[in-house]
């Protein structure tokens, strides 16, 4: 072989198929799980906020709210809302990995792979859903400490809602992250969106008897329809008075009509699917 001759190696790029797309989704999902498992400090720091709300803020405000809760401990009332809040923050931080992957250069490797952009988004969403739901199980394990019974039916129902809420919030986070290139920007946007949504959802207060302006903001907040079915499910398994149930878990109403929990869950799922679609379109255009 002369010095000018060059061996040409044929490279075969596999054709796209549903199997290759499923494999890509699984790889992206598994990578996020591995990163989460190998970072125990993330789990510890994430637990601080729900523990502070449940065992510091709740007991601290109990003396001020004793008359208005009809004998129900404030921590018991707050538990469903704190559970939803923990899912929100965990899911949003998981969605931030999309921005980190872009900033650190890993996303370029995914972009040259023979897979659809949608597979990356779906994998990220499933990874964030799994991480958020698994962390929510840690908070759920504390239910007995705030006088919420370990009823099998209740635990299964709460876990199902956890998966639904984790999926929709992760989809929201991925939708936001799809158009952002810097992690610092995503953190600022997340704080600007998530904190108002959380406080307007009724996670820490009943949604009945609110001022008109606050009631309107509460009703147009998508997170309200995740917190309400969770609280109604928990209160349906508590031995409390009818007055306490009416005051603390009245449900969300539209012009006097109380929305069924199944409809609220369907709304949360529909919003999650819609945001996944928007994220795929955004991500495809951006990359």
Mean pLDDT to the nearest integer, 252-267: 92
Please tell me the predicted confidence (pLDDT) of residue 179.
Answer: 81
Q: Dump pLDDT digits (tens) for 189-226.
A: 888 888 899 999 999 888 888 899 999 999 999 999 99
State both tokens at 81: 């809302």
d(CA 97, CA 128): 9
Does the pLDDT of residue 13 top 70, yes or no?
Answer: no
- Residue 4 DSSP SS3: coil
Nearest to 89 by CA among 143, 45, 155, 58: 45
pTM over 0.85: yes
Mean pLDDT of 105-109: 76
What pLDDT does residue 166 have? 95
Tokens standing for residue 188: 């600022």
Domain boundaries, the chain: 19-61+68-286
18 has a pLDDT exceeding 90: no
Cβ atoms < 10 Å from Cβ of 240: 17
User: Apex CA 224: angle with CA 219 and CA 226, to 5°?
Assistant: 145
Residue written as tokens 């072989």?
A: 1
Tally of CB atoms within 10 A around 52: 12
Contact between 178 and 286 under an 8 Å Cβ cutoff? The reply is: yes
Give the whole-number percent of the chain exceeding pLDDT 70: 92
Question: Which string of b and e fits 102-119 if b means at least 16 CB within 10 Å?
Answer: beeeebeebeeeebbbbb
Q: C-alpha angle 138/142/147, rounded to 5°? A: 155
Q: Where are the alpha helices (DSSP H) in the chain?
A: 18-37, 40-52, 58-65, 74-95, 97-104, 106-111, 117-140, 152-177, 183-200, 212-219, 224-235, 242-248, 261-286
Across the range 247-264, mean pLDDT stands at: 90
- Whether the Cβ atoms of residue 169 and residue 87 lie closer than 8 Å to each other: yes
Highest mean pLDDT among 115-119, 135-139, 245-249: 135-139
Give whole-number Cα distances, 216 to 42, 84, 172, 193, in Å: 36, 21, 22, 17
Asked whether the beta carbons of 124 and 102 are under 8 A apart, the reply is no
Tens-place pLDDT, residues 125-162: 999 999 999 989 999 999 999 989 999 999 999 999 99
pLDDT top residue among 19 and 223: 223
pLDDT-derived band of residue 167, with 50, 70 and 90 as boundaries? very high
Up-side HSE of residue 187: CA atoms within 13 Å toward CB?
4
Could you tell me the CA-to-CA distances from 284 to 65, 111, 113, 179, 226 in Å, in that order? 50, 10, 14, 10, 29
pLDDT of residue 175: 92
pLDDT tens, position by position, 31-82: 889 988 888 887 788 788 888 888 888 878 777 776 677 778 888 999 999 9
Q: Tell me how far apart the alpha carbons of residues 162 and 159 are, in angstroms, rounded to a whole number.
A: 5
| φ and ψ of 67, to 5 deg | -75, -30
Residue 27 · residue 122 · CB < 8 Å: no
Closest CA to 106 of 93, 123, 89, 131: 123
């Amino acid at each position: 072989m002369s010095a000018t001759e060059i061996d040409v190696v044929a490279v075969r790029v596999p054709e796209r198929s549903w199997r290759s797309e499923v494999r890509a989704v699984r790889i992206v999902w598994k990578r996020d799980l591995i990163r989460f498992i190998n970072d125990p400090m993330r789990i510890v720091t994430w637990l601080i906020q729900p523990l502070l709300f449940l065992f510091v803020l709740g007991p601290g405000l109990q003396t001020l709210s004793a008359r208005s809760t009809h004998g129900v401990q404030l921590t018991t009332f707050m538990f469903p809302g704190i559970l939803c809040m923990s899912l929100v923050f965990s899911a949003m931080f998981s969605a931030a990995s999309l921005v980190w992957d872009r900033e650190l250069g890993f996303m370029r490797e995914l972009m040259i792979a023979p897979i659809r952009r949608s597979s990356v988004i779906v994998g990220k969403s499933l990874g964030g859903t799994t991480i958020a739901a698994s962390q929510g199980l840690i908070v759920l394990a504390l239910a007995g400490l705030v006088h919420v019974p370990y009823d099998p039916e209740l635990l299964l129902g709460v876990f199902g809602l956890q998966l639904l809420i984790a999926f929709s919030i992760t989809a929201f986070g991925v939708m936001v992250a799809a158009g952002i290139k810097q992690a610092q920007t995503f953190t600022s946007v997340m704080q600007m969106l998530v904190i108002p949504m959380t406080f307007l959802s009724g996670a820490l207060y009943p949604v009945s008897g609110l001022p008109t302006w606050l009631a309107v903001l509460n009703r147009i907040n998508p997170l309200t329809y995740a917190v309400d079915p969770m609280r109604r499910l928990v209160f349906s398994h508590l031995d409390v008075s009818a007055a306490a149930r009416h005051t603390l878990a009245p449900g969300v109403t539209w012009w006097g009509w109380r929305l069924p929990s199944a409809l609220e869950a369907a709304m949360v799922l529909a919003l999650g699917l819609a945001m996944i679609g928007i994220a795929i379109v955004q991500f495809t255009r951006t990359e």
